[in-house]
Amino acid sequence: MSGPLPGPAEPGSEPPGGKRRPHGMLKLYYGLPDPAGEAQGGLAPGGDPGGPTDINGAHFDPEVFLTKLRKECSLTQLMDCETDMVKQIRALDSDMQTLVYENYNKFISATDTIRKMKNDFKKMEDEMDCLAANMAVITEFSARISSTLQDQHEQITKLSGVHMLLRKLQFLFELPARLTKCVELEAYGQAVRYYSKARSILHQYQHMPSFQGIQDDCQKIMANLAQKLREKFRDGGSGAKDLAECVELLLQLDEPAEELCDEFLSHARCRLKAELEALEAELGQPGGAPITDILEFIDRGCNIFVSNMCLVIASYQELFVSREGMQGITRMAQDKLVAFVNSLMETYFSLVERRIQLEKGVGDNSLLVRALDRFHRRLQALAKLLPASNVAAEGTEIVVRAAKERIHQYLLALQSFYQDCLTDVRQSLAAPRLAGKESPNLAELLGTISASVLNQIKSVLTYVHLFTAKDITFSNKPYFKGEFCSQGVREGLIVGFIKAICQMARQFCETTGDKGGSTPPAVLLLLSRLCLDYETSTISYILTLTDEQFLVQDHYPITPVTSLCAEAREAAQRLLNHYVKVQGLIISQMLRKSVETRDWVNTIEPRNVRAVMKRVVEDTTSIDVQVGLLYEEGVRKAQSSDSSKRTFSVYSSSRQQSRYAPSYTPSAPLDTNLLSNIQKLFSERIDIFSPVEFNKVSVLTGIIKISLKTFLECVRLRTFGRYGLQQIQVDCYYLQLYLWRFVCDENLVHFLLDEIVGSTAHRCLDPVPMEQSVIEVICERG
């Protein structure tokens, strides 16, 4: 549709402005979109662009347009419209004329040009015909030449083929000789290259006898060569490069890769085993001391065994795993390597563990830590080479186990140190008596033992701290950051030791019979004070020290200081109670023997205080001194200044009571019972084995209570004559004179002694008491 008309109408040389309109109209006429025209159409009275009333539109209907105009417009508008339309029509006519004039010349010249072209083409056609004829002649000649040369060409091709074949054959025939020469010259690579070239051909023509012969020869030579290569490979003396070449050649000779891997590894195994055996020899005889120290041992292990292992792994990987064209066997080779490494490392680890277990010395462990560090470090290198093996994890496990074992050993060492301290204390308590010197100062002993134990703990902490030093490779493992500090050192070592101390203390109290009896009371007293000191300060000091040195970073539950303190206090209390019991029983035993072995019915009139009573007072005094060295005085019940007088009066009241005895009437027992019951109403019941407080007075009170109660019970089991009663009176008065000063409440002593005298009177066949003044004289005399 876009016909030739718009083409000539387009030249840009035309002046713009007036020309635009006719173009627009034409375009519109041919249905081309023209935005300008459309805008113009929009201005037309009818609106409706493209509709029957659009005067510029394609579907313009004059009837409709006129009807519409007539309907819608006023007369003036119609007039305007008419003049406008007339103007437009004129303009269009003149436009058309201009176009025709403008394009006329162009049409003429175009016609001329076409005519000229027609003539030219005719000439060209003739020349082309001539060319075609020439070409046909050339083709003919060429075909003729080819046909004449054909025969010769075929012959040449054949000849060159024969030549090639002959050369190959020559190569083949010469191959055995060449190969032999190569083998002689040790140019194995060359030989293999030759052979691999010829191999397929030989294989193809092996049915021909001559080739068969060659192949046999070659195979023989190559087998020989392979043998040599293997020997070289096995020999192992050659360097890694040679070895690699060997393996490469062998692989090219189609030797099975798996076999080669095995051979390589078994060869390596032999060497490494020998090294391990040398290492094992350094462990020394079973049960004997190791030949070298642990650092040297580990050093040797690392430098010889582990580094060789690394070399083996590296060369193996180079040979079999990471090589080009070996993808098929990579997996198999890798598996073999891992199994190989794991089995050898297992042996190595067991050796290392055996060596570590030999490390029993509990002193400085810096050697051990350094050895472990080196061990661990070298394993990291190995693990980097071979990530598939589990050596790193196992190595860490070994280090962890060694650390745990170490902590355990230190705990045992601390315990045995503590035991040794106790033994020393016992010895120093026992020895001076033989030498006749003054008995050692308990306070000094306490200071010594507590200081030396504390020092020991501190030094053990320092030793253990080495495990977590920053420059040690394994110190940043999670175990050493967390569990080692909290569970190992704090709980396992320190808390464990404190608990062990308390446990030992309890054992001193629990052992019955022979074992418990052999513990000197002074040791019990000393330990009780030690436990009490632990409760008040030492435990919290030690734990603070530990927590400072080992920053505990994990969430494991830890034993709080308070519960440990409570345990220590309980142990101290038990020890002190036990001390009171033991001392009380020692005195009780003397009193009991003295009461049981005497015939109280047939005794003579008392002249002296019995020796056993003096002994009781002496022993009590020495216990008082002993306890005074370690424990504070304690509180006494308020006493009047003249307490001896008061005791006297109290005692005389009991004497009064026993005076009633001779005048017993059938109703008298009621009176005495009433009297003693009334007396009891005013005194609290005495709890004999009650726990004591941590002070001297309380301890002494406990001991005296036990002793006097025994005295009372023994007296009640006997029957007395008159003088028996009087002897008891004397003894009790003597005790009264000396014992009141030790106890917190002297009424307690008075009460128990009154009971003794009262009970004796009851058990007396002829109760005639001795005069108080006589008693006093006897007691003062001695």
What is the Cα–Cα distance from 116 to 114, expressed in whole angstroms?
Answer: 5
Q: How far apart are CB 586 and other proteins at their closest, in Å?
A: 15
Region of 316-324, 576-584, 648-656, 665-673 interacting with other proteins (CB under 8 A): 665-673
What are the structure tokens assigned to 370, written together?
A: 């350094």
- Identify the bridge partners of residue 11 per DSSP, sorted by sequence position: none
Q: Contact region for other proteins (CB under 8 A) — 99-107, 454-462, 548-556, 663-671?
A: 663-671
Give whichever of 328 and 666 is closer to other proteins, judged by the CB atom.
Answer: 666
When binding is defined by CB under 8 A, the residue of 50, 669, 691, 782 that contacts other proteins is 669
Sign of dihedral through CA atoms 581, 582, 588, 593? positive
| Residue 298 in tokens | 């580990």
Does 581 engage in binding with other proteins (CB under 8 A)?
no
Near other proteins by CB under 8 A: residue from 301, 488, 492, 721 = 721
Three-state DSSP class for residue 721: coil
Structure-token match 């060209």, residue found? 124
The CA-based angle 110-115-118, given to 5 degrees, is 130
Residue 676 found at the interface with other proteins (CB under 8 A): yes
Residue 213 or 662: which CB sits closer to other proteins?
Answer: 662
Question: Taking the complex as a whole, how short is the minimal distance between the CB of residue 763 and other proteins, in angstroms?
Answer: 6
Spatial distance between the Cα atoms of 405 and 569, rounded to a whole number of angstroms: 30
Nearest to 358 by CA among 296, 290, 306: 290
The verdict on 670 binding other proteins (CB under 8 A) reads: yes
- 685 touching other proteins, by CB under 8 A: yes
Output the smallest distance, CB 664 to other proteins, in A: 6
Count the site residues for other proteins by CB under 8 A: 20
Left, alpha or beta for 186 (phi > 0: left; psi -120 to 50: alpha)? left
Does residue 713 interact with other proteins by CB under 8 A? yes
Residue with smaller CB distance to other proteins, 336 or 763:
763
Kindly state whether residue 541 participates in binding other proteins, applying the rule CB under 8 A.
no
Stretch that binds other proteins, among 245-253, 306-314, 473-481, 661-669 (CB under 8 A): 661-669
Query: Quick one: which of 677, 678, 773, 781 contacts other proteins (CB under 8 A)?
Result: 677
Cα of 379 vs its chain's centroid, Å: 17
Q: How many Å separate Cα 18 from the centre of its chain?
A: 96
Degrees, nearest 5: CA angle 247-251-256: 110
Stretch of 139-147, 247-255, 421-429, 666-674 lying at the interface with other proteins (CB under 8 A): 666-674
As measured in angstroms, the least distance from the Cβ of 369 to other proteins is 50
Q: How far apart are CA 280 and CA 148, in angstroms?
A: 91
What are the helix (H) ranges across 442-560? 442-465, 478, 496-510, 513-518, 521-533, 539-549
Binding mask 753-772 for other proteins (x = CB under 8 A): ---------xxxx-------
In residues, how long is the chain?
782
Rounded distance, CA 462 to CA 550, Å? 10
Site for other proteins in 601-630 (CB under 8 A): 601-602
Nearer to other proteins, 233 or 720 (CB): 720
Q: Quick one: 124 or 604, whose CB is closer to other proteins?
A: 604
Which residues does 77 contact at the CB level (< 8 Å), separation at least 6?
Answer: 45
Nearer to other proteins, 187 or 675 (CB): 675
Q: CB of residue 528 vs other proteins: minimum separation in angstroms?
A: 23
Half-sphere exposure of 730 (CA within 13 A, CB side): 25
Q: Binder to other proteins among 680, 690, 777, 782 (CB under 8 A)?
A: 680
What 8-state DSSP symbol labels residue 769?
A: P
Q: Least separation, in Å, of the C-beta of 720 and other proteins?
A: 9
Rounded to an integer, what distance in angstroms lies between the CA atom of residue 318 and that of residue 213?
38
3-state secondary structure of 720: strand
**Interface segment toward other proteins; rule CB under 8 A; list 172-180, 215-223, 283-291, 662-670:** 662-670
Contact window for other proteins (CB under 8 A) among 389-397, 555-563, 652-660, 710-718: 710-718
Residue placing its CB nearer to other proteins in the complex, 560 or 669: 669
Q: Which residues bind other proteins (CB under 8 A)?
A: 601-602, 664, 666, 669-670, 673, 676-677, 680, 685, 712-713, 716, 719, 721, 762-765
